[in-house]
Homo-oligomer: A and B are copies of this chain.
């Protein structure tokens, strides 16, 4: 992780200034930077921090006077937040997984590993699983029978991929992530009270005690390229068709994707989001943390939900939503401002009633 300021700037498509041959070995926030660090001072408010720390080089905001900041070298990037992507990739020390196939891994003889695959300690790979070039399977992972994992995958410790799951290139999964659990699909011999409530919006009618029979998940999960799955997140297999995730979708931790769900490309699914069965989600959708989406809905392209939004109905493309039940964000903010003032409104109306009806009584 040793690079000159010039090497970094070149890699980022950015401009290097000053002593561009200076070598840095890490990155740090300005105030805590050591002399070997590249400080991250991407906004003017970090100027004071630079003075406190010891950095001789920094990634600085556009227009900063690097010499006045006491730096020997600087990098100016047109969009510093974006530059962080490339910079952090260069500087990532990684997880220290040892390359190669660990002797304790249990790999079925009928599994097929392409070249330069690494498999960590105590990982299990099932019959006929296929692992693409240069994939890194961390320790204690599980890859089921007939599963396909594309080239360049990086699985952290304890990731579990069920049988027949198909995943594209460059998949990343965090510890404990699960792909291909069975869907949650149960049925009662007679119409159930839940089925009735859906029809009547609240009346379950006469209740009868029924037990549930299991509908097995015959479908799989198909995941595109460049998908990332967070720690302990779950994507269930489909009932008949596959659950489908597009390209470039990023899931944070503890997210839950139900059976038969279809998600388009380039979506962000934040932590603890739940998407119930058979819901379809378009492209470039962002679901904020703890968002819930009911089953069998349609969420259009470019929809954004704020944190903890609970979506109980279809959402057209381009909407920004918030609240429970989800409303357009602007309406939600207006309604909730009103809600806070509601106790006063009751008092106002009582005063009006007194004025009007008492007045009338005394007419």
Contact = CB atoms under 8 A, between A and B. Distances in A.
A325 interface: yes
A132 interface: no
A273 to B, nearest CB: 9
Nearest to A126: B96
A236 to B, nearest CB: 7
Interface residues of A, number: 149
Interface string A322-363: 111101111101111011111101101100110111011000
B96 A144 contact: yes
Nearest to A249: B212
Contact of A292 (B27, B96, B126, B290): B290
Among A85, A86, A180, A186, the one with the most B-chain Cβ atoms within 10 Å of its Cβ is A85
A80 to B, nearest CB: 10
Interface string A99-126: 0001010100000000000001110101
Interface string A71-99: 00000000101101110110111111010
A139 B124 contact: yes
A210 interface: yes
A276 interface: yes
A36 interface: no
B289 A240 contact: no
Contact of A197 (B258, B276, B327, B329): B329
Interface stretch (A14-22, A60-68, A306-314): A306-314
A56 to B, nearest CB: 17
A194 B287 CA distance: 10
Given A181-B156, A228-B214, A338 B342 contact: yes
A356 B355 contact: yes
A261 to B, nearest CB: 11
Copies in the complex: 3
A106 B122 contact: yes
Nearest to A350: B348
Contact of A343 (B82, B308, B338): B338
Contact of A204 (B216, B256, B320, B342): B320
A328 B292 contact: no
Given A94-B163, A172-B182, A201-B333, 17 more contacts: A79-B191, A86-B213, A88-B239, A93-B163, A95-B145, A158-B158, A158-B160, A202-B333, A214-B228, A231-B236, A256-B271, A270-B276, A290-B310, A335-B342, A338-B343, A348-B349, A349-B352
- 3 nearest A-B residue pairs (beta carbon): A96-B145, A85-B213, A181-B231
5 contacts: A96-B126, A178-B253, A197-B320, A290-B292, A348-B349
Interface of A: 26-29, 32, 40, 79, 81-82, 84-86, 88-89, 91-96, 98, 102, 104, 106, 120-122, 124, 126-127, 139-140, 142, 144-146, 156-158, 160, 162-164, 172, 174-176, 178, 180-182, 184, 186-191, 193-194, 197, 201-204, 207, 209-218, 226, 228, 230-232, 234, 236, 239-241, 247-248, 250, 252-254, 256, 258, 265-266, 268, 270-272, 274, 276, 283-284, 286, 289-290, 292, 294, 301-302, 304, 306-308, 310, 312, 318, 320, 322-325, 327-331, 333-336, 338-343, 345-346, 348-349, 352-353, 355-357, 359-360
